[in-house]
Amino acid sequence: MADFSQPGSDGALPEGFKEWHWGVIYTVRPELLAPLARGREYRIVASVRRRVAKDEDFSAYEELYQRAAWAARARIADLTCVDEGEPLHTWVISQSWGCFGEEHRFAAAGIGLGVVFPNAGGPRPEGLIAPDAAELMSPGPLPGVVEPRQIDEIYNEFDVRELPYAHSDIFLFSYGEYVPDHRGMRFDRFVERAEKLAQAHAGAEPLRILKREWMWATNPDVAVVHIHTQVQSLHLTGK
């Protein structure tokens, strides 16, 4: 029986497995897990990263951008408000796409969204215009970059596997949740949330967990749970 009163782990990964090659890093502030306060603005950022060959003339940024936008909007679809009133309003606050790295080159795209359940007659900010298909054929600018401390939820999907290799079907879901103070807290609820999100990525297939880890990251305090599962392809997450 796992002891969730302190950091720990259970299960095991196969010999030769390469960690941090395929997965999602998800970090959330607890306010996004409960009905949102009316009139308060929140920030959600999603990004997608893929390995590309060093000499590849990459131009398929549209696929990456659309997947990042899909991830952000799927998360937004789950948001609720503390009361009835004006519907949720969203706008684009940042967006980028390009290739990075030299020795290990990867293509990436990201989008940041502002969200608010506005008060009656309250402001509805206008955001950046989404790029068209032609613009997404080459690297784009980085307007409106969001400071990390201003982000309420981050979804970062990455796939930098060198295929084929024996354990290419092992997927990591890394869950992080900010807490005011980890002293006296147990990990049960964080592990439960991480497993639920990992299952959402597995889709209809049963969640096959190989290894779980739970720990604290400090300054600021964050509960972290790693779920290693075997999946064939990714689905999209809900709460």
Q: What is the mean pLDDT of each run of 10 residues along the chain (239 residues)?
A: 93 92 95 96 95 89 94 91 96 92 86 95 92 92 63 94 82 95 91 93 84 89 95 61
Distance from C-alpha of 111 to C-alpha of 70, rounded to nearest angstrom:
10
Question: Residue 49: what pLDDT?
Answer: 95
Question: Residue 149: what pLDDT?
Answer: 67
Question: Residue 144: what pLDDT?
Answer: 54
Question: Residue 237: what pLDDT?
Answer: 46
Longest Cα separation, the chain: 59
Q: Which residue ranges make up each domain of the chain? A: 35-121+142-164, 169-239
Stated length of the chain: 239
> What is the DSSP annotation of 195-223?
HHHHHHHHTTSPP-EEEEEEEEETTTTEE
The separation between the first and the last C-alpha atoms of the chain, rounded to the nearest angstrom, is 26
- Helix residue ranges, H only, the chain: 61-76, 188-202
